[in-house]
Chain A
Amino acid sequence: MTVFNNYFKIVKSYIPTIIIYTVIFVMISVLATSSIGNTTTDFSVSKPNVAIINRDNNSVLIDSFTEYLETTTNVKKLKDEEETLRDALFYTEVDYILIIPEGYTEDFMNLKNPKIDTMTVPSSYGAKYTEMLLNRFLNISNVYRTAGMDQEIIAKNVKIDLEKNADVIMMNEYDATGLAVASYYYNFTNYTFIAICVYIVGLIINSFNSTNIKRRNLISTFSYKKINIQLFAGNLCLALLIWLLFNIIGLIFYPEVMMSSHGLLLMINFLAFSITALSIGFLIGNLVKSREAMDGIVNVLALGSSFICGAFVPQELLGDFVISISKVLPSYWFIKNNNDIANLSSFDFNSLQPIFINMLIVLAFGLAFFVITNTVSKLKIKNS
């Protein structure tokens, strides 16, 4: 236990660094997830975000149009300024901006087919769907106008028409949106946990690997394997603490989802990944000596794997080529598993089997990294 105990003495001396790192990355995790959205169990249509700029006078037609938009989309208030509008569009705060030109109502009622100016996020789903919704209103109103109705009657009829809605039956008793948010939170740990874990573990292991200390350790009666195992155990305790912290925060923010079987599976999956992330940190700590190299590698690993394995950008949006590359990384399987868990609708053996297989794949990566670390240590001893 000498090595194990000594490990924690070193941990103690790094406590400020560990706290800074953990606090900042946990903050990033929480902020990122909270930007995703709210949770509900009923069926709700995905409402696109739309802004209306009305440069025409108010009229019954425009009022009923606005009312229609407010029920079918999320109407965001934006100032009628070029920069405000363009920024909102660029960062997809809104998918669609409508600018109703002056004299629109009059032209519409005279069947001149006036046009509404629009600004859209190019080829996005939200924009296309909004256009479908808007066309529906405008086409129906236009038909009524052609049939000879005036504004009031049009508004009244359109209202009746658009209240005719299909019934949607939700087959899932689980909170799908809540699960999606929780699995996003765990996907995001691919970045934050790797960053914390690899960095801290690397830092501590590194202090065991400075030449003099290493030589001193090697002539002791302890074999390098025993030393490595005890060091790994020390790291494991630390990693488990951080794992626990992330789960507690998950529980605080998403209590309902996390207290369910889905939540439990997410935690177990995260545990498997934590062990693997730890063994990556362990390997890097043993391979890399210089601090600059460490900073660089941590970032490339944490950020790079998060980007190409779908922690930030959903996996289904990544191209086939990227996916085939990311499959050689444990992050891919971890994230895929989070998404699969969120989509589970039953917990029988058949549906759970692929989930556990994914976890085993993640753990197998961890085991492989551990074996590589031992081989590297062995080679280093031979060389020195």
Chain B
Amino acid sequence: MFGHLFINRLKVLLKNKSAIFWTLIFPILLATFFNLAFANLYEDSKFESINLAIVNNDDFNNEHNFKTVIESLSKDDDNQIFNTKYVTEEKAKELLDDGKVAGYIIVNDKIDIVVKSNGIGQTTIKYVVDNYYQVTSVMGNIANFNPEALKTDILNKLNENTNNFNDISNKNVDATVVYFYSLIGMICLYGGTFGINAVNETEANLSKKGARVSVSPVHKFKMLIAALLVSLLIQYSEILILLGYLVFVLNINFGGQILPVLLLTLVGALAGLSLGMFIGVSNKKNEGMKMSILISVTMLLSFLSGMMVLKMKYIIAENVPILAKINPVNMVTDGLYSLYYYNTLDRYFYNVISLIVFSVIMIAISYVFIRRKKYDSI
């Protein structure tokens, strides 16, 4: 009996080719777009030299030390910081207005920096000029304290790249993977559409089809469970295809552990399905309305898990931890993130268990709505 229900339900869902196609193709398209946008991002966040204009007047040419500093920083080598143009004051203003340079330097009795906005380039220019002043000040202080010291090469230490630091961070980290993780989280919740559909077609008060199957001499829960299992099967297959695409085509790093990823996405799919089921039975709105609720809620939860603004995930976890803890998209994202970034599995299992708890709660509430319902007429 159960096999019969299962097979027929599977046939019904597979017949809806448009639904299958779209739920499958849509995450793949999105992942492709993500990948496009991030392809260069990581490379480009590397330090780029800053466009700077210098007003080439007599004062500048007389300030020999400063001139040497600027020239050495503008040399086209590994330590290049500036792309420097030596121009007249009018030209410098024009370059600044057109956004061709981050700022310009004009030397009169003192060194002035002229900028139009705040930013990385402007800050760096200020740093270099500050540095020039400060080195001069250091020389004065040493001359006062111990003039003999100035005769040694002591001042070279100022500009040496002495090894003051020992970098112990994990170098090969690419934060953009989290976008893909939250995409998987989102797709898990999107599976809720199957959940809505399943209860809609088995509950007598929700659709005509539901009323029809309710009069058949089949136990309602058998039917519902068959429908939900089929939904889970289809949804999980779709997630597996998406994972395959992410791993083999886009080369997204999942931290090298396949089994935990498969388990996490399975419970994620279950969470999505049970959320859909809950939305499906908890109200009597039409199916379209329920889908809208599911989708808009999913988008909000995905946003809070960092899908559009990566840092949002951290902001929420720091400031409203409860919101991060009850958000199933975040559980999936965080679980995958902890597999990628940490060597231990504690945090991963915490998320797996959270997802299971979430699903159980959703299913339990739905059960309260469904149980012991009988209709004389409807």
Contact = CB atoms under 8 A, between A and B. Distances in A.
A58 interface: no
Contacts of B120: 46, 125, 129
Contact of A147 (B45, B110, B145): B145
Interface stretch (B35-43, B209-217, B360-368): B35-43
Q: Assign chain B's interface to a size class.
A: 35 or more
A167 interface: yes
Majority secondary structure, B binding face: helix
B292 A21 contact: yes
Interface string B163-185: 11111111111010000000000
B113 A168 contact: yes
B295 interface: yes
A43 B119 CA distance: 9
A122 B312 contact: no
Contacts of A144: 138, 141-142, 145
Nearest to A175: B117
B119 to A, nearest CB: 6
Contacts of A149: 145
Interface stretch (B126-134, B221-229, B260-268): B126-134
A281 to B, nearest CB: 15
Nearest to B35: A307
A320 to B, nearest CB: 8
B18 A292 contact: yes
A117 B168 CA distance: 6
Nearest to A310: B37
B130 A44 contact: no
B141 A157 contact: yes
Interface in A33-62: 35, 40, 43-46
A322 B22 contact: no
B161 A135 contact: yes
A61 to B, nearest CB: 13
Interface centre among B142, B164, B173 (most CB of A within 10 A): B164
Say what secondary structure dominates the interface of chain A: helix
A35 B329 CA distance: 20
Q: Which of A113, A138, A308 has the most CB of B within 10 A?
A: A308
B97 to A, nearest CB: 6
Contacts of B22: 290, 292-293, 295-297
B20 to A, nearest CB: 8
A35 to B, nearest CB: 6
Contacts of B29: 300, 304
Interface string A72-102: 0000000000010011111111000101000
Given A32-B308, A143-B138, A166 B126 contact: yes
Interface of A: 16-17, 20-21, 24-25, 27-28, 31-32, 35, 40, 43-46, 83, 86-93, 97, 99, 113, 115-120, 122-125, 128-129, 131-136, 138-140, 142-144, 146-149, 153, 157, 160-162, 164-172, 176-177, 180, 188, 191, 195, 203, 290-293, 295-297, 299-300, 303-304, 306-308, 312-313, 317-322, 325, 343, 345-346
